[in-house]
Structure 1
Protein backbone atom coordinates (compact mmCIF):
# COMPACT_ATOMS: atom_id res chain seq x y z
CA UNK A 1 0.00 0.00 0.00
CA UNK A 2 2.83 2.41 0.84
CA UNK A 3 4.40 1.81 -2.55
CA UNK A 4 1.06 2.40 -4.27
CA UNK A 5 0.55 5.66 -2.41
CA UNK A 6 4.09 6.76 -3.22
CA UNK A 7 3.50 6.08 -6.91
CA UNK A 8 0.21 7.99 -6.86
CA UNK A 9 1.93 10.96 -5.23
CA UNK A 10 4.63 10.89 -7.90
CA UNK A 11 2.02 11.00 -10.65
CA UNK A 12 0.09 13.84 -9.01
CA UNK A 13 3.22 15.93 -8.44
CA UNK A 14 4.67 15.35 -11.91
CA UNK A 15 4.20 18.66 -13.73
CA UNK A 16 5.51 17.16 -16.98
CA UNK A 17 2.56 14.73 -17.11
CA UNK A 18 4.83 11.89 -18.18
CA UNK A 19 2.11 9.31 -17.47
CA UNK A 20 -0.26 11.08 -19.85
CA UNK A 21 2.45 11.30 -22.52
CA UNK A 22 3.16 7.59 -22.12
CA UNK A 23 -0.55 6.74 -22.41
CA UNK A 24 -0.85 8.77 -25.60
CA UNK A 25 2.23 7.08 -27.04
CA UNK A 26 0.57 3.71 -26.38
CA UNK A 27 -2.74 4.96 -27.83
CA UNK A 28 -1.86 7.05 -30.91
CA UNK A 29 -5.52 7.83 -31.60
CA UNK A 30 -6.37 8.49 -27.96
CA UNK A 31 -7.22 11.89 -26.55
CA UNK A 32 -6.62 13.19 -23.04
CA UNK A 33 -8.86 15.76 -21.35
CA UNK A 34 -7.67 17.59 -18.25
CA UNK A 35 -10.44 18.60 -15.87
CA UNK A 36 -10.47 21.02 -12.97
CA UNK A 37 -11.93 19.48 -9.80
CA UNK A 38 -14.38 18.73 -8.35
CA UNK A 39 -17.60 18.51 -10.34
CA UNK A 40 -16.38 17.43 -13.77
CA UNK A 41 -18.41 14.58 -15.33
CA UNK A 42 -15.49 12.20 -15.64
CA UNK A 43 -17.85 9.45 -16.84
CA UNK A 44 -18.79 11.49 -19.92
CA UNK A 45 -15.13 11.93 -20.85
CA UNK A 46 -14.38 8.25 -20.30
CA UNK A 47 -17.49 7.21 -22.24
CA UNK A 48 -16.13 9.16 -25.20
CA UNK A 49 -13.08 6.89 -25.11
CA UNK A 50 -10.81 9.62 -23.78
CA UNK A 51 -8.48 9.74 -20.80
CA UNK A 52 -9.75 12.04 -18.01
CA UNK A 53 -6.95 13.59 -15.94
CA UNK A 54 -7.46 15.71 -12.83
CA UNK A 55 -5.74 19.09 -12.91
CA UNK A 56 -4.77 20.36 -9.46
CA UNK A 57 -2.21 23.05 -10.20
CA UNK A 58 1.48 22.56 -9.55
CA UNK A 59 1.83 23.32 -5.85
CA UNK A 60 5.42 24.14 -4.99
CA UNK A 61 6.76 22.35 -8.07
CA UNK A 62 6.64 25.45 -10.25
CA UNK A 63 7.86 29.01 -9.88
CA UNK A 64 5.43 31.61 -11.17
CA UNK A 65 6.94 33.60 -14.02
CA UNK A 66 3.94 34.46 -16.22
CA UNK A 67 0.69 33.83 -14.33
CA UNK A 68 1.18 36.69 -11.86
CA UNK A 69 0.79 39.13 -14.74
CA UNK A 70 -2.70 37.79 -15.45
CA UNK A 71 -4.09 37.21 -11.96
CA UNK A 72 -4.02 39.32 -8.82
CA UNK A 73 -1.93 38.40 -5.81
CA UNK A 74 -5.04 37.35 -3.86
CA UNK A 75 -5.90 34.52 -6.31
CA UNK A 76 -5.16 31.03 -4.98
CA UNK A 77 -2.06 29.12 -6.03
CA UNK A 78 -4.07 26.30 -7.65
CA UNK A 79 -5.49 28.67 -10.25
CA UNK A 80 -2.24 30.54 -10.85
CA UNK A 81 -0.01 27.48 -11.08
CA UNK A 82 -2.48 25.84 -13.47
CA UNK A 83 -2.23 28.88 -15.70
CA UNK A 84 1.56 28.75 -15.39
CA UNK A 85 1.46 25.13 -16.57
CA UNK A 86 -0.34 26.26 -19.69
CA UNK A 87 1.78 29.32 -20.39
CA UNK A 88 4.99 27.29 -20.07
CA UNK A 89 3.81 24.56 -22.45
CA UNK A 90 3.38 21.84 -19.85
CA UNK A 91 -0.25 21.20 -20.79
CA UNK A 92 0.77 20.19 -24.31
CA UNK A 93 -0.12 16.47 -23.82
CA UNK A 94 -3.78 17.39 -23.41
CA UNK A 95 -6.30 17.69 -26.20
CA UNK A 96 -8.73 19.68 -24.10
CA UNK A 97 -9.35 21.36 -20.75
CA UNK A 98 -12.64 21.27 -18.85
CA UNK A 99 -13.67 23.58 -16.02
CA UNK A 100 -16.77 23.91 -13.86
CA UNK A 101 -18.19 26.49 -11.49
CA UNK A 102 -16.28 25.81 -8.28
CA UNK A 103 -15.28 29.47 -7.88
CA UNK A 104 -15.05 32.73 -9.81
CA UNK A 105 -11.30 32.32 -10.25
CA UNK A 106 -11.75 28.92 -11.89
CA UNK A 107 -14.31 30.45 -14.24
CA UNK A 108 -11.89 33.22 -15.17
CA UNK A 109 -9.05 30.73 -15.59
CA UNK A 110 -11.09 28.85 -18.18
CA UNK A 111 -11.57 31.90 -20.34
CA UNK A 112 -7.99 33.12 -19.89
CA UNK A 113 -6.75 29.76 -21.18
CA UNK A 114 -9.28 29.79 -24.00
CA UNK A 115 -8.07 33.23 -25.06
CA UNK A 116 -4.41 32.23 -24.91
CA UNK A 117 -4.86 28.83 -26.58
CA UNK A 118 -7.52 29.25 -29.30
CA UNK A 119 -6.42 26.03 -31.00
CA UNK A 120 -7.20 23.95 -27.88
CA UNK A 121 -10.60 22.65 -26.82
CA UNK A 122 -11.35 24.57 -23.60
CA UNK A 123 -14.85 24.43 -22.13
CA UNK A 124 -16.71 25.58 -19.05
CA UNK A 125 -19.49 23.43 -17.62
CA UNK A 126 -22.30 25.47 -16.09
CA UNK A 127 -23.75 23.64 -13.09
CA UNK A 128 -27.07 24.39 -11.36
CA UNK A 129 -26.89 25.58 -7.77
CA UNK A 130 -30.15 23.99 -6.61
CA UNK A 131 -29.80 20.28 -7.26
CA UNK A 132 -33.28 19.53 -5.89
CA UNK A 133 -35.12 21.53 -8.54
CA UNK A 134 -36.64 19.63 -11.46
CA UNK A 135 -35.61 22.42 -13.81
CA UNK A 136 -32.05 22.18 -12.49
CA UNK A 137 -31.91 18.51 -13.38
CA UNK A 138 -33.11 19.29 -16.89
CA UNK A 139 -30.54 22.06 -17.18
CA UNK A 140 -27.74 19.76 -16.01
CA UNK A 141 -28.83 17.12 -18.51
CA UNK A 142 -28.65 19.68 -21.29
CA UNK A 143 -25.17 20.75 -20.17
CA UNK A 144 -23.95 17.14 -20.23
CA UNK A 145 -25.49 16.72 -23.68
CA UNK A 146 -23.71 19.86 -24.86
CA UNK A 147 -20.43 18.57 -23.45
CA UNK A 148 -20.91 15.21 -25.14
CA UNK A 149 -21.50 16.95 -28.45
CA UNK A 150 -18.38 19.06 -27.99
CA UNK A 151 -16.14 16.06 -27.33
CA UNK A 152 -15.12 14.73 -30.75
CA UNK A 153 -15.84 11.22 -31.94
CA UNK A 154 -19.03 10.46 -30.03
CA UNK A 155 -22.48 9.98 -31.55
CA UNK A 156 -25.59 8.56 -29.90
CA UNK A 157 -28.35 7.23 -32.16
CA UNK A 158 -31.75 6.21 -30.79
CA UNK A 159 -33.37 3.37 -32.76
CA UNK A 160 -36.72 1.67 -32.39
CA UNK A 161 -39.07 -0.48 -34.44
CA UNK A 162 -42.74 0.26 -34.04
CA UNK A 163 -45.81 2.16 -35.23
CA UNK A 164 -45.70 5.89 -36.07
CA UNK A 165 -46.67 6.69 -32.47
CA UNK A 166 -43.22 5.50 -31.39
CA UNK A 167 -41.86 8.76 -32.76
CA UNK A 168 -42.77 10.43 -29.45
CA UNK A 169 -40.33 8.19 -27.59
CA UNK A 170 -37.57 9.04 -30.06
CA UNK A 171 -38.25 12.76 -29.67
CA UNK A 172 -37.74 12.32 -25.94
CA UNK A 173 -34.43 10.56 -26.63
CA UNK A 174 -33.32 13.56 -28.67
CA UNK A 175 -34.30 15.86 -25.83
CA UNK A 176 -32.15 13.79 -23.47
CA UNK A 177 -29.06 14.12 -25.65
CA UNK A 178 -29.23 11.66 -28.54
CA UNK A 179 -27.71 13.04 -31.74
CA UNK A 180 -30.06 11.31 -34.16
CA UNK A 181 -33.09 9.05 -34.11
CA UNK A 182 -34.26 6.29 -36.45
CA UNK A 183 -37.78 4.83 -36.56
CA UNK A 184 -38.31 1.56 -38.45
CA UNK A 185 -42.04 1.48 -39.15
CA UNK A 186 -44.09 -0.53 -41.64
CA UNK A 187 -47.45 -2.27 -41.59
CA UNK A 188 -45.65 -5.50 -42.46
CA UNK A 189 -43.91 -5.37 -39.07
CA UNK A 190 -47.22 -5.84 -37.26
CA UNK A 191 -47.26 -9.03 -35.23
CA UNK A 192 -43.52 -9.60 -35.58
CA UNK A 193 -42.11 -12.05 -33.05
CA UNK A 194 -38.79 -11.51 -31.27
CA UNK A 195 -36.72 -13.10 -34.05
CA UNK A 196 -38.35 -10.99 -36.76
CA UNK A 197 -37.87 -7.88 -34.63
CA UNK A 198 -34.20 -8.66 -34.09
CA UNK A 199 -33.69 -9.34 -37.81
CA UNK A 200 -35.29 -6.00 -38.69
CA UNK A 201 -33.24 -4.05 -36.16
CA UNK A 202 -30.04 -5.74 -37.33
CA UNK A 203 -30.82 -4.82 -40.94
CA UNK A 204 -31.41 -1.19 -39.98
CA UNK A 205 -28.18 -1.03 -37.97
CA UNK A 206 -26.15 -2.54 -40.80
CA UNK A 207 -27.67 -0.12 -43.30
CA UNK A 208 -27.39 3.07 -41.25
CA UNK A 209 -24.56 2.57 -38.72
CA UNK A 210 -22.30 -0.32 -39.74
CA UNK A 211 -19.36 1.04 -37.72
CA UNK A 212 -21.14 1.18 -34.35
CA UNK A 213 -19.21 0.62 -31.11
CA UNK A 214 -21.94 -0.20 -28.61
CA UNK A 215 -25.62 -1.15 -28.65
CA UNK A 216 -27.69 -0.56 -25.51
CA UNK A 217 -31.02 -2.39 -25.21
CA UNK A 218 -33.70 -2.73 -22.57
CA UNK A 219 -33.99 -5.77 -20.34
CA UNK A 220 -37.37 -6.93 -21.66
CA UNK A 221 -40.66 -5.68 -23.04
CA UNK A 222 -43.57 -5.08 -20.70
CA UNK A 223 -46.01 -7.11 -22.82
CA UNK A 224 -44.35 -10.28 -24.14
CA UNK A 225 -41.81 -10.24 -21.29
CA UNK A 226 -39.47 -12.51 -23.28
CA UNK A 227 -36.11 -10.68 -22.91
CA UNK A 228 -35.06 -12.24 -26.23
CA UNK A 229 -34.67 -9.39 -28.72
CA UNK A 230 -31.36 -8.14 -27.29
CA UNK A 231 -29.55 -11.50 -27.27
CA UNK A 232 -30.97 -12.40 -30.69
CA UNK A 233 -29.81 -9.05 -32.10
CA UNK A 234 -26.29 -9.66 -30.80
CA UNK A 235 -26.28 -13.16 -32.28
CA UNK A 236 -27.38 -11.91 -35.70
CA UNK A 237 -24.73 -9.17 -35.69
CA UNK A 238 -22.07 -11.58 -34.42
CA UNK A 239 -21.02 -9.45 -31.45
CA UNK A 240 -20.55 -10.16 -27.72
CA UNK A 241 -23.52 -9.61 -25.44
CA UNK A 242 -23.73 -8.85 -21.72
CA UNK A 243 -27.28 -8.89 -20.43
CA UNK A 244 -28.85 -7.70 -17.15
CA UNK A 245 -26.26 -4.98 -16.72
CA UNK A 246 -26.63 -2.48 -13.88
CA UNK A 247 -23.36 -0.52 -14.23
CA UNK A 248 -21.08 0.06 -17.18
CA UNK A 249 -17.68 1.61 -17.85
CA UNK A 250 -15.22 1.73 -20.71
CA UNK A 251 -11.82 0.13 -20.41
CA UNK A 252 -8.92 2.59 -20.46
CA UNK A 253 -8.05 1.92 -24.08
CA UNK A 254 -11.62 2.42 -25.25
CA UNK A 255 -11.62 -0.98 -26.96
CA UNK A 256 -13.48 -2.97 -24.30
CA UNK A 257 -16.56 -2.54 -22.13
CA UNK A 258 -16.82 -3.52 -18.47
CA UNK A 259 -20.29 -4.32 -17.09
CA UNK A 260 -21.56 -5.21 -13.63
CA UNK A 261 -24.50 -7.55 -14.22
CA UNK A 262 -27.13 -9.26 -12.13
CA UNK A 263 -26.95 -13.03 -11.67
CA UNK A 264 -29.01 -15.39 -9.51
CA UNK A 265 -26.55 -15.26 -6.61
CA UNK A 266 -25.78 -11.53 -6.75
CA UNK A 267 -23.57 -9.68 -9.21
CA UNK A 268 -20.57 -10.33 -11.42
CA UNK A 269 -18.30 -8.07 -13.48
CA UNK A 270 -17.78 -9.05 -17.11
CA UNK A 271 -15.64 -7.52 -19.85
CA UNK A 272 -16.17 -7.78 -23.59
CA UNK A 273 -14.45 -6.44 -26.67
CA UNK A 274 -16.17 -3.81 -28.76
CA UNK A 275 -18.43 -3.68 -30.64
CA UNK A 276 -20.78 -5.25 -28.13
CA UNK A 277 -24.38 -5.25 -26.92
CA UNK A 278 -25.37 -4.50 -23.33
Structure 2
Protein backbone atom coordinates (compact mmCIF):
# COMPACT_ATOMS: atom_id res chain seq x y z
CA UNK A 1 0.00 0.00 0.00
CA UNK A 2 1.41 3.38 -1.05
CA UNK A 3 0.33 6.64 0.61
CA UNK A 4 1.31 10.27 0.07
CA UNK A 5 2.87 12.52 2.74
CA UNK A 6 1.29 15.71 4.02
CA UNK A 7 2.01 18.84 2.01
CA UNK A 8 4.26 20.06 4.80
CA UNK A 9 6.64 17.12 4.31
CA UNK A 10 6.61 16.65 0.54
CA UNK A 11 9.98 18.36 0.23
CA UNK A 12 11.56 15.50 2.23
CA UNK A 13 9.21 12.51 1.94
CA UNK A 14 8.25 11.06 -1.44
CA UNK A 15 5.71 8.51 -0.20
CA UNK A 16 4.99 5.87 2.40
CA UNK A 17 4.82 2.14 1.78
CA UNK A 18 3.22 -0.35 4.12
CA UNK A 19 4.47 -3.82 3.25
CA UNK A 20 3.16 -7.00 4.82
CA UNK A 21 2.96 -10.63 3.79
CA UNK A 22 2.07 -14.03 5.16
CA UNK A 23 5.02 -15.64 3.36
CA UNK A 24 6.78 -18.34 5.33
CA UNK A 25 9.97 -17.71 7.29
CA UNK A 26 13.14 -17.86 5.17
CA UNK A 27 11.30 -16.67 2.03
CA UNK A 28 13.73 -14.64 -0.10
CA UNK A 29 13.23 -11.19 -1.59
CA UNK A 30 15.23 -8.98 -3.91
CA UNK A 31 15.72 -5.28 -3.16
CA UNK A 32 17.34 -2.88 -5.63
CA UNK A 33 17.69 0.86 -6.15
CA UNK A 34 14.84 3.16 -7.13
CA UNK A 35 17.05 6.26 -6.72
CA UNK A 36 15.69 7.11 -3.26
CA UNK A 37 16.98 6.60 0.29
CA UNK A 38 14.52 5.81 3.07
CA UNK A 39 13.62 4.96 6.64
CA UNK A 40 12.29 1.53 7.64
CA UNK A 41 10.28 0.44 10.69
CA UNK A 42 9.79 -3.28 11.34
CA UNK A 43 6.71 -4.40 13.29
CA UNK A 44 7.64 -8.06 13.41
CA UNK A 45 10.99 -9.82 13.16
CA UNK A 46 13.60 -7.68 11.34
CA UNK A 47 14.85 -9.05 8.03
CA UNK A 48 18.21 -10.59 7.20
CA UNK A 49 20.02 -8.61 4.49
CA UNK A 50 22.79 -9.88 2.24
CA UNK A 51 24.59 -8.09 -0.56
CA UNK A 52 24.55 -9.26 -4.17
CA UNK A 53 27.61 -11.49 -3.66
CA UNK A 54 26.28 -12.98 -0.40
CA UNK A 55 29.40 -11.86 1.46
CA UNK A 56 27.93 -9.32 3.92
CA UNK A 57 25.01 -10.71 5.92
CA UNK A 58 23.43 -8.58 8.61
CA UNK A 59 20.23 -8.49 10.63
CA UNK A 60 18.36 -5.27 9.96
CA UNK A 61 17.64 -3.15 13.07
CA UNK A 62 14.05 -2.56 14.18
CA UNK A 63 14.22 0.91 12.65
CA UNK A 64 16.90 2.36 10.42
CA UNK A 65 17.87 4.82 7.71
CA UNK A 66 19.26 3.45 4.46
CA UNK A 67 21.21 5.36 1.83
CA UNK A 68 21.52 5.02 -1.91
CA UNK A 69 21.86 1.43 -3.09
CA UNK A 70 24.57 0.75 -5.68
CA UNK A 71 23.91 -2.99 -5.95
CA UNK A 72 20.94 -5.23 -5.34
CA UNK A 73 20.46 -6.96 -1.98
CA UNK A 74 19.01 -10.33 -1.05
CA UNK A 75 16.54 -10.17 1.83
CA UNK A 76 15.45 -13.19 3.88
CA UNK A 77 12.41 -13.23 6.14
CA UNK A 78 13.23 -13.86 9.77
CA UNK A 79 9.55 -14.08 10.72
CA UNK A 80 6.41 -12.35 9.45
CA UNK A 81 6.95 -9.48 7.01
CA UNK A 82 5.40 -6.28 8.33
CA UNK A 83 7.08 -2.92 7.84
CA UNK A 84 6.58 0.75 7.12
CA UNK A 85 8.98 2.24 4.56
CA UNK A 86 9.31 6.01 4.43
CA UNK A 87 10.65 6.64 0.94
CA UNK A 88 12.56 9.91 1.05
CA UNK A 89 13.22 12.32 -1.78
CA UNK A 90 16.54 11.57 -3.54
CA UNK A 91 18.19 14.34 -1.50
CA UNK A 92 16.22 13.56 1.69
CA UNK A 93 19.13 12.27 3.76
CA UNK A 94 21.17 15.40 3.21
CA UNK A 95 18.18 17.62 3.99
CA UNK A 96 17.31 15.70 7.15
CA UNK A 97 20.77 14.92 8.54
CA UNK A 98 22.99 17.53 6.90
CA UNK A 99 25.62 14.97 5.88
CA UNK A 100 27.08 14.16 2.47
CA UNK A 101 24.67 11.49 1.24
CA UNK A 102 27.47 9.46 -0.36
CA UNK A 103 28.69 8.63 3.17
CA UNK A 104 25.59 6.47 3.62
CA UNK A 105 25.70 4.62 0.29
CA UNK A 106 24.83 0.94 0.88
CA UNK A 107 24.70 1.69 4.61
CA UNK A 108 22.16 0.99 7.31
CA UNK A 109 22.13 3.38 10.27
CA UNK A 110 19.97 2.64 13.30
CA UNK A 111 17.44 5.39 13.86
CA UNK A 112 18.23 5.35 17.58
CA UNK A 113 21.90 6.15 16.82
CA UNK A 114 20.77 9.35 15.10
CA UNK A 115 17.78 10.53 17.12
CA UNK A 116 18.51 8.81 20.45
CA UNK A 117 15.57 8.66 22.92
CA UNK A 118 13.20 10.33 20.47
CA UNK A 119 13.63 7.37 18.13
CA UNK A 120 12.93 4.87 20.94
CA UNK A 121 9.79 6.80 21.80
CA UNK A 122 8.70 6.80 18.16
CA UNK A 123 9.22 3.04 17.88
CA UNK A 124 6.98 2.53 20.91
CA UNK A 125 4.30 4.81 19.45
CA UNK A 126 4.31 3.00 16.13
CA UNK A 127 3.96 -0.40 17.80
CA UNK A 128 0.85 0.89 19.61
CA UNK A 129 -0.75 2.35 16.46
CA UNK A 130 -4.08 0.80 15.49
CA UNK A 131 -4.16 1.82 11.81
CA UNK A 132 -1.83 2.70 8.93
CA UNK A 133 -3.03 6.31 9.03
CA UNK A 134 -2.12 6.50 12.70
CA UNK A 135 1.32 5.06 11.94
CA UNK A 136 1.94 7.79 9.43
CA UNK A 137 0.52 10.47 11.73
CA UNK A 138 2.93 9.48 14.52
CA UNK A 139 5.88 9.54 12.12
CA UNK A 140 4.90 12.89 10.63
CA UNK A 141 4.64 14.48 14.07
CA UNK A 142 8.16 13.18 14.74
CA UNK A 143 9.47 14.65 11.49
CA UNK A 144 7.62 17.98 11.68
CA UNK A 145 9.45 18.72 14.94
CA UNK A 146 12.68 18.55 12.95
CA UNK A 147 11.66 20.76 10.04
CA UNK A 148 13.37 23.81 11.49
CA UNK A 149 16.70 21.95 11.32
CA UNK A 150 16.20 20.67 7.77
CA UNK A 151 18.99 21.81 5.46
CA UNK A 152 18.22 23.73 2.29
CA UNK A 153 18.97 21.74 -0.85
CA UNK A 154 20.80 23.42 -3.72
CA UNK A 155 18.21 24.70 -6.20
CA UNK A 156 20.21 23.70 -9.28
CA UNK A 157 20.37 20.15 -7.92
CA UNK A 158 16.60 20.09 -7.37
CA UNK A 159 16.04 21.46 -10.86
CA UNK A 160 18.30 18.77 -12.33
CA UNK A 161 16.35 16.05 -10.50
CA UNK A 162 13.06 17.47 -11.78
CA UNK A 163 14.37 17.55 -15.36
CA UNK A 164 15.50 13.92 -15.08
CA UNK A 165 12.05 12.83 -13.87
CA UNK A 166 10.26 14.91 -16.48
CA UNK A 167 12.30 13.15 -19.17
CA UNK A 168 11.81 9.69 -17.64
CA UNK A 169 15.56 9.45 -17.04
CA UNK A 170 16.35 9.87 -20.73
CA UNK A 171 18.45 13.01 -20.52
CA UNK A 172 22.20 13.37 -20.92
CA UNK A 173 24.60 15.30 -18.71
CA UNK A 174 25.33 17.50 -21.72
CA UNK A 175 21.64 18.38 -21.89
CA UNK A 176 21.52 19.22 -18.19
CA UNK A 177 24.46 21.61 -18.26
CA UNK A 178 22.96 23.36 -21.29
CA UNK A 179 19.80 24.04 -19.26
CA UNK A 180 21.33 24.73 -15.84
CA UNK A 181 23.95 27.36 -14.88
CA UNK A 182 26.50 24.76 -13.76
CA UNK A 183 29.53 23.01 -15.20
CA UNK A 184 29.71 19.24 -15.55
CA UNK A 185 32.16 19.05 -12.64
CA UNK A 186 29.91 21.17 -10.41
CA UNK A 187 26.92 18.98 -11.26
CA UNK A 188 28.88 15.82 -10.44
CA UNK A 189 29.86 17.26 -7.05
CA UNK A 190 26.30 18.33 -6.26
CA UNK A 191 24.85 14.92 -7.09
CA UNK A 192 27.51 13.12 -5.08
CA UNK A 193 26.95 15.36 -2.05
CA UNK A 194 23.15 15.65 -2.06
CA UNK A 195 22.11 12.32 -3.61
CA UNK A 196 25.10 9.99 -3.29
CA UNK A 197 25.19 9.15 -6.99
CA UNK A 198 26.56 10.56 -10.23
CA UNK A 199 23.99 12.34 -12.40
CA UNK A 200 24.32 9.65 -15.10
CA UNK A 201 23.85 6.79 -12.64
CA UNK A 202 20.84 8.54 -11.10
CA UNK A 203 19.28 9.21 -14.51
CA UNK A 204 19.84 5.56 -15.52
CA UNK A 205 18.12 4.42 -12.32
CA UNK A 206 15.09 6.64 -12.95
CA UNK A 207 14.90 5.49 -16.58
CA UNK A 208 14.90 1.89 -15.36
CA UNK A 209 12.11 2.60 -12.86
CA UNK A 210 9.95 4.05 -15.63
CA UNK A 211 10.69 1.00 -17.78
CA UNK A 212 9.62 -1.35 -14.96
CA UNK A 213 6.28 0.45 -14.75
CA UNK A 214 5.89 0.24 -18.53
CA UNK A 215 6.73 -3.47 -18.46
CA UNK A 216 3.65 -4.16 -16.36
CA UNK A 217 1.30 -2.12 -18.51
CA UNK A 218 2.22 -2.87 -22.12
CA UNK A 219 -0.67 -1.66 -24.35
CA UNK A 220 -2.19 -4.29 -26.60
CA UNK A 221 -1.00 -2.41 -29.68
CA UNK A 222 2.63 -2.24 -28.47
CA UNK A 223 5.35 -4.90 -28.50
CA UNK A 224 8.03 -5.43 -25.85
CA UNK A 225 10.61 -4.26 -28.39
CA UNK A 226 8.78 -0.95 -28.79
CA UNK A 227 8.69 -0.49 -25.01
CA UNK A 228 12.41 -1.23 -24.81
CA UNK A 229 13.24 1.43 -27.43
CA UNK A 230 10.77 3.92 -25.95
CA UNK A 231 12.62 3.72 -22.62
CA UNK A 232 16.06 4.40 -24.06
CA UNK A 233 17.50 0.88 -24.34
CA UNK A 234 19.27 -0.04 -27.57
CA UNK A 235 17.88 -3.56 -27.89
CA UNK A 236 16.85 -6.65 -25.90
CA UNK A 237 20.47 -7.64 -25.22
CA UNK A 238 21.23 -4.19 -23.78
CA UNK A 239 18.17 -4.40 -21.53
CA UNK A 240 18.92 -7.95 -20.38
CA UNK A 241 22.47 -7.00 -19.38
CA UNK A 242 21.31 -3.92 -17.47
CA UNK A 243 18.54 -5.94 -15.80
CA UNK A 244 20.93 -8.68 -14.67
CA UNK A 245 23.50 -6.28 -13.27
CA UNK A 246 20.99 -4.18 -11.33
CA UNK A 247 18.48 -6.78 -10.16
CA UNK A 248 20.12 -10.18 -10.65
CA UNK A 249 17.00 -11.17 -12.62
CA UNK A 250 15.81 -11.40 -16.22
CA UNK A 251 12.93 -9.16 -17.35
CA UNK A 252 10.54 -12.12 -17.41
CA UNK A 253 11.58 -13.28 -13.93
CA UNK A 254 10.86 -9.77 -12.70
CA UNK A 255 7.53 -9.54 -14.51
CA UNK A 256 6.33 -12.82 -12.98
CA UNK A 257 6.99 -11.67 -9.40
CA UNK A 258 6.25 -7.96 -9.72
CA UNK A 259 4.67 -6.10 -6.79
CA UNK A 260 2.71 -3.11 -8.18
CA UNK A 261 3.06 -1.01 -5.01
CA UNK A 262 6.79 -1.68 -4.42
CA UNK A 263 8.46 -2.12 -7.78
CA UNK A 264 12.01 -2.49 -6.38
CA UNK A 265 11.19 -5.12 -3.72
CA UNK A 266 9.90 -8.54 -4.77
CA UNK A 267 9.85 -12.16 -3.72
CA UNK A 268 12.25 -14.36 -5.68
CA UNK A 269 11.73 -17.72 -3.91
TM-score of the superposition, structure 1-length normalised? 0.26
Larger RCO (alpha carbons 8 Å, 6+ apart) = 2
TM-score of the superposition, structure 2-length normalised? 0.27
More helix by share: 2
